[in-house]
A = this chain, B = another copy of it.
Amino acid sequence: MRYELYYWPGIPGRGEFIRLALEEAGADYLDIGQSPGNGVSAISAYLDDPQASRPPFAPPFLKAGDIVVSHVANILQFLGPRLGLVPDDESTRFWVQGLQLTLCDWLLEVHDVHHPIGASLYYEQQRAEARRRASLLIGERLPKFLGYFEHVLSSNPQGDTWLVGDSLTYADLSLFQMVAGLRYAFPQAMQRLEPEIPEVSALAVRVAERPNIAAYLASGRRQSFNEQGIFRHYPELDG
């Protein structure tokens, strides 16, 4: 099975949460947004196809043969059993997915810091509002989300190596990406906050050291964070 990932090129963005799962599992996939002859036009053509009976609202979406799945959490839930990134039992799968949806909520809050009024305006058109929102993100929301995942790790009955059970799930990969993105966007804030969340920081190291992830991070496929993406470094927002 060759998976096809549809996501905008030029930023890690939401697509990166899917790429990390595919890379960890060594899956065969084509990154349509970045592949020659495809790119933005192939994504737009799919979204705007008037014949499509099941059109996704927005990227990312994944094609797996005839199946098309949209949304980060939904795609990961689809891939989880296929790539061995989630345990077998149903109760645990819903728990992993609850963690993933918490991560997705958190990601949106981080995005909206630089776009509190609307995604259709430039950052420069909502800079004052962004500053107000950033101080709440850093003062209240980052400690709350980071503290929650620290608590989940430290109260896992099977040990504090991974969020769930005793092996890596897609939620661990996503938490790694959140930490990486936050370190890029808010280096000062994270330097203050990380001593309070040693288990989360240690998990991020463990993920980065997985052989397939380490190889991916060192490759040209891993895109840099930048100021067109979700995690943006604007020094005036990093209080």
Please list the residues of chain A having a beta carbon within 8 angstroms of any beta carbon in chain B: 50, 52-57, 61, 66-71, 73-74, 77-78, 90-91, 94-95, 97-98, 101-102, 105, 108, 112, 116-118, 120-121, 126, 129, 132-133, 136-137, 140-141, 148, 151-152, 155-157
Contact = CB atoms under 8 A, between A and B. Distances in A.
Nearest to A61: B98
Protomer copies: 2
A136 to B, nearest CB: 4
A59 to B, nearest CB: 12
B116 A136 contact: no
A70 B108 contact: no
A69 B54 contact: no
Given A70-B98, A73-B101, A94-B69, A155 B52 contact: yes
A105 B66 CA distance: 25
A74 B98 contact: yes
A13 to B, nearest CB: 15
A193 to B, nearest CB: 18
